[in-house]
Copies of this chain bind each other. A is one copy, B any other.
């Protein structure tokens, strides 16, 4: 299940455009800023920087990656942005976590916003894993957290904004630290690409998880179609739609990054972005496959239901059409007329039973000819 909310914008109405107002879920933690500087020779990583220290940081000669956790603190975001001369509309978009994925090119920097998916980690339960918490865990296994990530790609600086600590960027951090791959030899644009790539990779994992949700549904719709399964299929469809709506503009965004001639993106990195574009297309196709599986499940469900109805009706009809005529015959000879000569005949009773048996047999043959039994 994807965890998401529609956030109300009512309190924002009437403000001047470009006024940053936080919209979205709020982190309880204080704002955390980390700074990573690197070049081909090495890297330095600093956390627990105060905002003032950050602002006072000299412009790097190498590449710097500033990561900000906690966009609900509008003033921090504003000050960092102003330090680098970011437009007020961009500031507004960073703190409003209800954005559509997009890329905007400004003079001297690119602004990229997209959705990061992450499997939600469970808080440790103090009393150990009870049966109850295990069941809970099985449900949570499907809980996917959606978070907005904003990237500012400047000449030698990349700034990433998110609300919650914990992200999918740890492999990149370790590559930066131990210098594996070519990442330290390349510029800020390549770092931006790496961050996007890490986020898109996560969609593959997620779709594999969702596929495991579809398989049991496909069995259930044949064996035991119930209204609950329709609700489940609808929930699944909604999740897929949500992902699709998030991926579709991501596709467009990556396409524009990889094809349009922006001076911020080197020809080399463009090649990697073209590859990333192929990935996004591929994810979209897997997604469409899953959507068709879900629709197919609904079709199978509906035909299961009508088959079930069919077989119920068959039983009712077979029993009724056999016994109702027989009961009528029994009713005839239960009448109390004085003048009913048959009643006195010695073989009347067994003959009546025989006629009844023959009628029933005839009915059964008729049903067999209709392939009902």
Contact = CB atoms under 8 A, between A and B. Distances in A.
A216 interface: no
A337 B320 contact: no
Copies in the complex: 5
Contacts of A319: 320-321, 324-325
B323 A328 contact: yes
B272 A17 contact: yes
Nearest to A235: B296
A93 B245 CA distance: 27
A359 to B, nearest CB: 11
A328 to B, nearest CB: 5
A139 interface: no
A278 interface: yes
Given A17-B193, A307-B226, A312-B310, A337 B327 contact: no
Nearest to A88: B182
Contact of A309 (B242, B289, B309, B347): B309
Contact size range, A: 35 or more
Contacts of A327: 323-324, 327-328, 331
A305 B302 contact: no
Interface string A289-321: 100110010111111111111111111110111
Interface stretch (A8-16, A61-69, A70-78, A151-159): A8-16
Given A245-B289, A303-B227, A330-B335, A194 B17 contact: yes
Given A18-B182, A87-B271, A301-B303, 4 more contacts: A93-B275, A102-B278, A298-B299, A320-B324
